[in-house]
Amino acid sequence: MGEAVHVRSISALRDLRSAFGRFAGEVREPLTATELEIRRALQWIEERVRYWQREVEDRRHEVQRASAALARCRKSGYHHDDRDYHEPDCSDYEEDLSAARQHLREAEAERATVHHWAVRLNQAVKEYQIHANRLKQLTTTRHENAQAFLQRRQAELEAYIAIKSPDSMAGLAATISPVPEGRHGLPSWDGGHSSQAQVAAVALQALQGLQSDEWQKLDFRERLEVLQKVENSMAEVQGRPSVQVNAEVMGKPTLFGVYDGTKITLNDAPIKENDIRGVLDTVIHEGRHAYQHYAVTHPGIHPKSSEVEAWRDNRDHYLDAELYGQEMYQNQPVEADAWSYADAVVERYYQGGNSNG
């Protein structure tokens, strides 16, 4: 075998799996306890809202009763025989009505206060649940996926070590060599991408609009058309159907693009900038994901079946950067391959498309 294997520490994978397990266990208990407290708080505030709503209704009835009593008192001054009127003493009824109105105002104020805090509490709970659900997912489904992923990688490395005979262990250091890093600090798989990257870079040289001075003269629509031509060229080089390239406003400035299985969607903000290199890298990167998807669904198109199996497995156990961190995200098979492939193509393109290394 001519390929080098970069093995640093299998025990580190075991430690990482154990750490994941401890982390999941330590997080689940406070999450459960917090959910119970939130449920109690919501129940309590709902009860207070209902209580003060009933109080307001009762106080309104009290005002109505006091008003009716005062009206009857005032009418008692009339005499039906001579229609004379004498002023009755209704001061007690007036005081009762004044007190009833004061009670109503107090109840309405309490109801308004409780309603205000009920709204605030529900908003806070919703915001908390967004983050709590992510953490919960990290300790359940994502945790299980990560554990399975690490276990498979550990087993693969242990199996590789096991095939080495005792006599050959002395030469293991020569077989295990440092892997050169790419521009993003990821392992550079240039040996596997070199030939295709060279062809892809030459294909890009034939496209108009990718040079910095040309790019700056294009409007947004024209730039998107150029990027579609880039995807078309990459698809032709890779032997797959091209996909549609779209652009939209994306809330996260760190999100440059995504391939969803049918199309590439780019963040429109970088396209509006005058720096073409980053956008070019993104289109090629997402196009490589399209190639990976095509290779998984069309066996035989990619020369290394082991890589296709790794991509297939990674699709089912994808590690999101927000949950697992940037390092684990970038080093999973589909992302490491896409990053290094895009690096190789872009580097050769800007070197003139005729570099051999």
> 338 or 79: which carries more pLDDT confidence?
338
Q: What is the pLDDT of residue 220?
A: 93
Angle between helices 333-350 and 305-316 (to 10 degrees): 120
Question: Going edge to edge, which strands form the sheet with 244-248?
Answer: 244-248, 263-267, 257-259
Q: In the structure, what pLDDT confidence band is assigned to residue 178 with cuts at 50, 70 and 90?
A: very low
- Looking at residues 276-293, what average pLDDT do you find? 94
Among the residue ranges 58-72, 142-156, 271-285, 337-351, the one predicted with the least confidence is 142-156
The pLDDT of residue 301 is: 86
pTM of the model: 0.51
Nearest Cα neighbor of 63 from 30, 22, 98 is 98
Mean pLDDT of the chain: 80
Tell me: pLDDT of 171 over 60: no
* Mean pLDDT of all residues in 222-232: 94
Q: Strands (DSSP E) along the chain, which ranges?
A: 244-248, 257-259, 263-267
What's at 301, amino acid-wise? I
Mean pLDDT for 224-229 is 94
d(C-alpha 179, C-alpha 176), whole Å: 9
Closest by Cα among 135, 151, 188 to 331: 188
Residue 96: what pLDDT?
92
pLDDT at 161: 63
pLDDT at 144: 65
Look at residue 177 and tell me whether its pLDDT is greater than 50.
no
Pair type for strands 263-267 and 257-259: antiparallel
What value does the mean pLDDT take over residues 156-165?
A: 60
